[in-house]
A = this chain, B = another copy of it.
Amino acid sequence: MVVDQLREVELDRLFQAFADSTRRDIVRRVTVGESSVSGLAALYAMSFAAVQKHVAVLERASLVTKEKRGREQIVRGNHEGLQKARRLLDEYEAIWRQRVDRIADILAEG
């Protein structure tokens, strides 16, 4: 399925975005309350440009949105991306539970 290829790329980006502790921290912070890019940059021991790149990665993964306000760029958490990741892991868990149930069935038969 062609559609699923898109979905796979989307998931690649999603999990890739989560695979860095600075980015996870940014998601946490902007979910609690919005912040400018420079506001975020002040929190980490790295350059502004580095933080800017992290925000860009999160934006591409739909985990965060950016909105211009004056000369600042306001970053906010985006629930949708989060839900997508959770839903996938839920699927995996469901598969796992099915397997456990099947084994339980086999044991019950024996």
CA gap between A88 and B89 in the complex, in Å? 11
Interface extent on A, as a size class?
Answer: 20 to 34
Q: This chain: how many copies in the complex?
A: 2
> Whole-angstrom distance between the alpha carbons of A8 and B24 in the complex?
9
Is the Cβ of B99 less than 8 Å from the Cβ of A89? no
State whether the Cβ of A28 lies closer than 8 Å to any Cβ in chain B: yes
- Smallest distance from the beta carbon of A72 to chain B beta carbons, Å? 20
User: Whole-angstrom distance from the CB of A20 to the nearest CB of chain B?
Assistant: 7
Which A residues are closer than 8 A to B by beta carbons? 8-9, 11-12, 14-16, 18-21, 24, 27-28, 31-33, 77, 79, 82-83, 85-86, 88-90, 92-93, 95-96, 98-99
